[in-house]
Amino acid sequence: MPVQYYIFLSIALFCIGVMGVLMRRNAIIIFMCVELMLNAVNLLLVAFSKMWADAGRVDAGGAQIFVFFIMVVAAAEVAAGLAIIVMVYRNSQSVDINIMNRLKN
Amino acid sequence: MGMSLQQIVFGVLSIISIISALGVILSKNPVTSVLCLIVTFFTIAGHYIMLNAQFLAVVHIIVYAGAIMVLFLFVIMLMNLNAEIEPQKRNWLKYAGAISGGALLLVLLGALREAEVTPLQSGSTEIGLISNLGKTLFNQYVVPFEVSSILFLSAMVGAVVIGKREA
């Protein structure tokens, strides 16, 4: 099976994530779209790992370790990010991303 | 030319994942978005299994479906968000976002369409098994592993400090 299929699928998922970040104003949805983009990249890394493993490379597992670390960072990011969103909601009763305009002045 | 079983499974999983990913960004209700994202994550776990990354598939389900999405759902239900108070962007901004995302899609597709990569073999590889990954992790990547534990600790402390009521 051509690895191109996985490249196209990852591109589609990544661009859907980008569209979501640009189109929505709900901070939680934007956050979820960032997770979607991270997962598109993970999928691509795993596909390339399989490609290198098929080619007989012994170090192809490195890509999967990289995916593992991306998951670790994503989990930490969600913990801190959701705490920030809850804090913003508590102060302004809204998760509208435009609230952040107030930081300007 | 008939399609192999692998390609059929890939096609079905891909269609489900793209439709549910679109559901994440198009649905008005945040809870529906979270459920769509969970479906997307499960299909991605299916792709991992197809690519012989069994350990990553299990970790992916545990971390994303089990921890991260539960956290999202918990926060959304805590805030009692629903479609009525959902903030809406102006229409032209939405179109601008969709068009720029579509333009990025076209650019990436056009750039990578001709990429020279070797096709995947249908045979399985041992590389994604937990024993092999564990050896790689603890031989070559011990320091990043330990650093990530510090990252987790700081994220935990940070979340508690941020979430504390008026310190």
Domain containing residue A53: 4-104
Model confidence pLDDT, tens digit, residues B34-71: 999 999 999 999 999 998 889 999 999 999 988 899 99
A84-102: average pLDDT = 82
Task: Inspect the interface and report whether the beta carbons of B68 and A87 lie closer than 8 Å.
Answer: no
Distance, CA of B116 to CA of B89 (rounded, Å)? 41
Domains of chain A: total: 1
Task: Supply the pLDDT for residue A20.
Answer: 92
| CB contact A2 to B (< 8 Å) | yes
Residue A32's pLDDT band (cuts 50, 70, 90): very high
Q: What is the DSSP letter of B123?
A: S
* In the predicted structure, residue B121 carries a pLDDT above the cut 70: yes
The pLDDT of residue B166: 66
Q: Do A16 and B22 touch (CB under 8 A)?
A: yes
Predicted pLDDT of residue B2: 64
CB contact under 8 A, A1 and B7: yes
pLDDT band at A58 (very low <50, low <70, confident <90, very high): confident
- The interface residues of chain A toward chain B in range 51-80, judged by CB-CB distance below 8 A, are 51, 53-55, 59-62, 64-65, 67-69, 71-80
Contact B159 A5 (CB under 8 A): no
A82 CB neighbours in chain B (<8 A) are 71-72, 75, 159
Q: What is the pLDDT of residue B38?
A: 94
Which one is the CATH code of B5-126: 1.20.120.1200, 3.30.365.10, 3.90.1300.10, 3.90.1150.10?
Answer: 1.20.120.1200
Furthest-apart CA atoms within chain B: distance in Å? 67
Q: What's the rounded Cα separation, in Å, for the pair B158 and B143?
A: 22
Residue-wise burial string across B37-66, b where 16 or more C-beta atoms lie within 10 A, e elsewhere: bbbbbbbbbbbbbbbbbebbbebbbebbbe
Say if A100 is an interface residue toward chain B (CB within 8 Å): no
Give me chain A's average pLDDT, please.
Answer: 88
pLDDT (tens digit, 9 = 90+) per residue, B142-167?
Answer: 999 999 999 999 999 999 998 887 65
Burial of B112 (0-12, 13-18, 19+ CB in 10 A): middle
Mean pLDDT of chain B: 87
Residue from the list B21, B68, B151 with its beta carbon closest to the beta carbon of A16: B21
Domain-wise residue ranges, chain B: 5-126, 129-167
Across B6-28, average pLDDT: 92
**Residue A44 to residues A15, A40, B31, B155: CA-CA distances in angstroms?**
14, 6, 28, 27
Q: Which of the four pLDDT bands, split at 50, 70 and 90, describes residue B117?
A: confident
CATH code (residue A28): 1.10.287.3510
Å from A102 to nearest chain B CA? 17
pLDDT interval class at B113 (50, 70, 90):
confident
Residue A64: what residue type?
Answer: Q
Structure tokens at B135: 């050896």
pLDDT band at B83 (very low <50, low <70, confident <90, very high): low
Is A19 close to B101, i.e. CB distance below 8 A? yes
Q: Which residues pair with A96 in a beta bridge?
A: A26
Closest CA to B39 of B14, B59, B56, B58: B14
